[in-house]
């Protein structure tokens, strides 16, 4: 099918509009962050000169070295645990027939359906009774639990999309279920797995509410939480808040840029293979 | 190397998927070293039977043995069979070498031996130069060879092949047919080959097993299945173009019977036939009329289809109510649609079937 000139123009116009809508807020924040710290801004203003000084001062003032380290620790743990649990779970749901598979899978899905906010209060009391508040476990365990729903759902969809003959061939070839998974299916599933890793990383990195409820100790704060205290302490210092926001978002952007080709393949795989 | 060829048996094997019975009481003995072809139309249960033997599906009832050992409770890896799939099912991320080595490595064969075995199989299948390639860099025929190599390299007790030629073009298919048959003869490994293509069945199998709707209809050598089909279904399925059938009324004439319906009259030497009987005639036994000996006729019909194949021509001839035969002519004969044709039927070539049950009553009468 070839698009006519008018169709093409309309397509580009719509795409351009959505690109502007998506990119404008980011551009505004980056531009704002380039103003000197403490500058009084009345709206969107272009900086007189490009300066990275605000980033440096925001980094120091917010103590981002410590915050980033906490965020990296929590995100890496959640991603590692989620990946280690969801690949075998998705494999079981996607390729094996066992009694109760469907009801158990629906229970897993409940984690994606129930709003997390509704669980956070009972979760807080449970963790407090267990003496786990103000520890990294209070961030890692709930977020792993939350990610497992999506991860299992995602990996199950991947394993269902792989031609069943591949696993059959490996089984007849003498491979155990475990070997079929790790030697045959996981290498094919790299884009799907990487996509899950990026999404879970993103959600974990950006998680704010859980950290706010579970953590009061300064030393266990994560980067988004640091951003909030930053804002209250420097109430009206818009350039500094903007710079801090850019700093917090940067790792996610970097991870996405590094993995975008595989990420897109993973996102598209399901839609093409059905 | 597997020592001596092993026999395979299915005893009353049933496979149900929910309310659907895919394989219904299959009993089949495959002798050690035999090349058995399981043939039938799509959905007849032949692939399911193969998967039951491989252990990829669990039997609902019955027994399967390989070399006298009951296997229905064993996982695929404990059955020591190799399978070639319709879509080859090569591991896309592995090189040809790794594809071939995978089965041996799964069985913890020492590395040096793996290399020796893979190289030997690669030489046999002319894959030597391709060992470093990935499957996506291979042609269809090469992929097929890798799939065969993967089965060959393990020296299994049985080869299971699930329509392995159906994705190849016509010429390659003929070559691979010969190649697979030769490989099987060389290795002497008991083979179960599934196909819906009756030409493959006829040309490759020591014996062929014809299935329909989960039920085994006949097992015999290809020429016997062709010459003495057990029922109307087998008669119509084996042979191309298919055998033509018509219902004729029987009348006793001395020690013979005359079967006819006005347009067609055939005399057959049988002891007893029901009043109405289904008569099957193969195209090669129906020809344009020439007053040669041994021909019954002449009969008249109207040509309603013409298939010129060069070496031979097939004419569809409608001769009265419910009688449509296919006639075979040597070379490319010129006939027009709608033309009236006088034809004859070679005596002693009719197959008689019970009209109700479809079971064969007599052959070559």
pLDDT band at A3 (very low <50, low <70, confident <90, very high): low
Percent residues over pLDDT 70 in chain B: 99
Q: Evaluate if residue B67 carries a pLDDT over 80.
A: yes
Alpha helices in chain B (DSSP H): 46-54, 96-106, 111-124, 140-152, 170-187, 198-204, 222-227, 232-237
Q: Evaluate if residue A233 carries a pLDDT over 60.
A: no
Which neighbouring-strand residues pair with B84?
B161
Q: Evaluate if residue A232 carries a pLDDT over 80.
A: no
**What is the residue-averaged pLDDT of chain A?**
86
Assign residue A173 the CATH number of its domain: 1.10.3720.10
The answer as to whether A82 is a domain residue is: yes
The answer as to whether A231 is a domain residue is: yes
- Where is pLDDT greater, at B223 or B268? B223
The answer as to whether A20 is a domain residue is: no
The answer as to whether A10 is a domain residue is: no
| pLDDT at res. A148 | 93
How many independent structural domains does chain A possess?
Answer: 1
Contact criterion met (CB < 8 Å) for A169 and B107: no
Would you call A174 an interface residue with chain B, using a CB distance cutoff of 8 Å? Answer: yes
| pLDDT at res. B157 | 92
pLDDT band at B189 (very low <50, low <70, confident <90, very high): very high
Question: Structural domain of residue A209, as residue ranges?
Answer: 64-273
**Coil, helix or strand for B324?**
strand
From chain A, the residues in CB contact with B106 under 8 A are 170, 173-176, 179
Residues B220 and B305 sit within 8 Å (Cβ to Cβ)? no
The answer as to whether A115 is a domain residue is: yes
| pLDDT at res. A272 | 40
DSSP state of B320: S
| pLDDT at res. A113 | 86
| pLDDT at res. A231 | 59
Q: Evaluate if residue A239 carries a pLDDT over 90.
A: no
Q: How far is CA B232 from CA B216, B282, B324, in A?
A: 14, 12, 16
pLDDT in tens, A134-160: 999 999 999 999 899 999 999 999 999
Contact criterion met (CB < 8 Å) for B154 and A173: yes
| pLDDT at res. A74 | 95
| pLDDT at res. B65 | 94
From chain B, the residues in CB contact with A168 under 8 A are 51, 54, 56, 76, 83, 85, 89
Locate A166 and state its tokens.
Answer: 């591949």
Mean pLDDT, residues B107-119: 92
The answer as to whether A71 is a domain residue is: yes
Residues B233 and B272 sit within 8 Å (Cβ to Cβ)? no
Residues A241 and A230 sit within 8 Å (Cβ to Cβ)? yes
pTM of the predicted model as reported, rounded to 2 decimal places: 0.81
Residue in A with minimal Cα distance to B94: A184
The answer as to whether A18 is a domain residue is: no
pLDDT in tens, A42-90: 777 777 777 788 888 888 888 888 889 999 999 999 999 999 999 999 9
Contact criterion met (CB < 8 Å) for A173 and B93: no
Mean pLDDT, residues B13-35: 93
Q: Which residues in B have their CB inside 8 Å of a CB on A?
A: 51, 54-56, 75-77, 79, 81-83, 85-87, 89-93, 102-103, 106-107, 150, 154, 160
Residues B343 and B298 sit within 8 Å (Cβ to Cβ)? yes
| pLDDT at res. B194 | 95
Q: Evaluate if residue B295 carries a pLDDT over 90.
A: no
Please give the ipTM for the structure prediction.
Answer: 0.83
Minimal CA separation from B107 to chain A, in Å = 6
pLDDT band at A236 (very low <50, low <70, confident <90, very high): low
The answer as to whether A30 is a domain residue is: no
Sign of torsion over alpha carbons B328, B332, B338, B344: negative
| pLDDT at res. A270 | 46
pLDDT in tens, A184-231: 999 988 888 998 999 999 999 998 889 989 988 888 888 888 877 665
User: Residue B87: which of A165, A175, A184 has the nearest Cβ?
Assistant: A165
Would you call A96 an interface residue with chain B, using a CB distance cutoff of 8 Å? Answer: no
Mean pLDDT, residues B260-287: 86
pLDDT band at B2 (very low <50, low <70, confident <90, very high): very low
Q: Evaluate if residue A271 carries a pLDDT over 50.
A: no
């Amino acid at each position: 099918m070839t698009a006519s000139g008018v169709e093409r123009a309309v397509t580009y116009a719509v795409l351009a509009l959505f690109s502007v809508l998506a990119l404008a807020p980011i551009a505004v924040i980056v531009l704002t962050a380039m103003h000197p710290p403490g500058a009084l801004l009345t709206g969107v203003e272009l900086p007189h000169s490009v300066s990275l000084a605000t980033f440096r001062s925001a980094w120091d003032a917010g103590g981002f070295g410590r915050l980033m380290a906490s965020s990296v620790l929590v995100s890496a743990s959640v991603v590692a645990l989620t990946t280690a649990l969801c690949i075998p779970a998705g494999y079981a749901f996607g390729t094996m027939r066992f009694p109760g598979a469907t009801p158990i899978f629906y229970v897993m899905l409940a984690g994606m359906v129930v709003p997390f906010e509704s669980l956070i209060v009972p979760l807080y009391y449970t963790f407090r009774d267990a003496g786990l508040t103000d520890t990294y476990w209070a961030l890692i365990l709930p977020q792993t639990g939350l990610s497992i729903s999506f991860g299992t759902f995602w990996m199950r969809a991947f394993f269902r999309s792989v031609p069943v003959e591949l696993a059959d061939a490996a089984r007849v070839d003498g491979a155990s279920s475990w070997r079929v998974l790790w030697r045959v299916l996981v290498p094919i599933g790299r884009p799907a797995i990487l996509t899950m890793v990026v999404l879970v990383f993103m959600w974990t990195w950006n998680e704010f509410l859980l950290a706010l409820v579970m953590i009061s100790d300064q030393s266990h704060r994560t980067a988004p939480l640091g951003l909030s205290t930053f804002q209250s302490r420097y109430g009206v210092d818009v350039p500094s808040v903007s710079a801090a926001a850019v700093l917090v978002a940067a790792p996610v952007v970097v991870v996405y840029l590094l993995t975008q080709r595989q990420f897109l393949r993973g996102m598209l795989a399901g839609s093409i293979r059905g | 190397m597997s020592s001596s060829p092993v026999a395979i048996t299915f005893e009353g094997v049933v496979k149900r998927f929910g309310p659907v019975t895919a394989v219904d009481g299959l009993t089949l003995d495959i002798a050690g070293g035999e090349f058995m072809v399981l043939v039938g139309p799509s959905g007849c249960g032949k692939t399911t039977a193969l998967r039951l033997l491989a252990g990829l599906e669990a039997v609902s009832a019955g027994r399967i043995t390989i070399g006298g050992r009951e296997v229905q409770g064993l996982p695929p890896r404990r059955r020591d069979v190799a399978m070639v799939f319709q879509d080859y099912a090569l591991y896309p991320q592995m090189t040809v070498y790794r594809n071939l080595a995978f089965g041996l490595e799964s069985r913890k064969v020492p590395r040096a031996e793996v290399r020796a075995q893979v190289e030997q199989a690669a030489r046999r299948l002319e894959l030597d130069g391709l060992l470093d390639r990935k499957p996506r860099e291979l042609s269809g025929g090469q992929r097929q060879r890798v799939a065969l190599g993967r089965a060959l390299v393990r020296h299994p007790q049985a080869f299971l092949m699930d329509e392995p030629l159906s994705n190849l073009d016509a010429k390659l298919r003929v070559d691979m047919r010969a190649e697979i048959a030769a490989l099987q003869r060389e290795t002497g490994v008991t083979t179960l080959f599934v196909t819906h293509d009756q030409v493959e069945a006829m040309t490759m199998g020591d014996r062929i097993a014809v299935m329909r709707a989960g039920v085994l209809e006949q097992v015999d050598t290809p020429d016997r299945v062709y010459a003495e089909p057990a029922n109307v279904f087998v008669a119509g399925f084996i042979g191309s173009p298919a055998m033509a059938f018509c219902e004729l009324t029987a009348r006793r004439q001395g020690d013979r019977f005359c079967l006819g319906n006005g347009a067609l009259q055939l005399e057959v030497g049988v002891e007893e036939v029901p009043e109405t009987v289904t008569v099957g005639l193969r195209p090669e036994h129906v020809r344009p009329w020439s007053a040669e000996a041994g021909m019954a006729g002449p009969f008249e019909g109207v040509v309603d289809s013409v298939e010129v194949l060069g070496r031979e021509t097939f004419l569809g001839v409608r001769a009265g109510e419910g009688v449509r035969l296919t006639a075979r002519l040597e070379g490319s004969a010129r006939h027009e649609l709608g033309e009236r044709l006088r034809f004859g039927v070679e005596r002693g070539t009719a197959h008689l079937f019970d009209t109700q049950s479809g079971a064969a009553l007599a052959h070559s009468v």
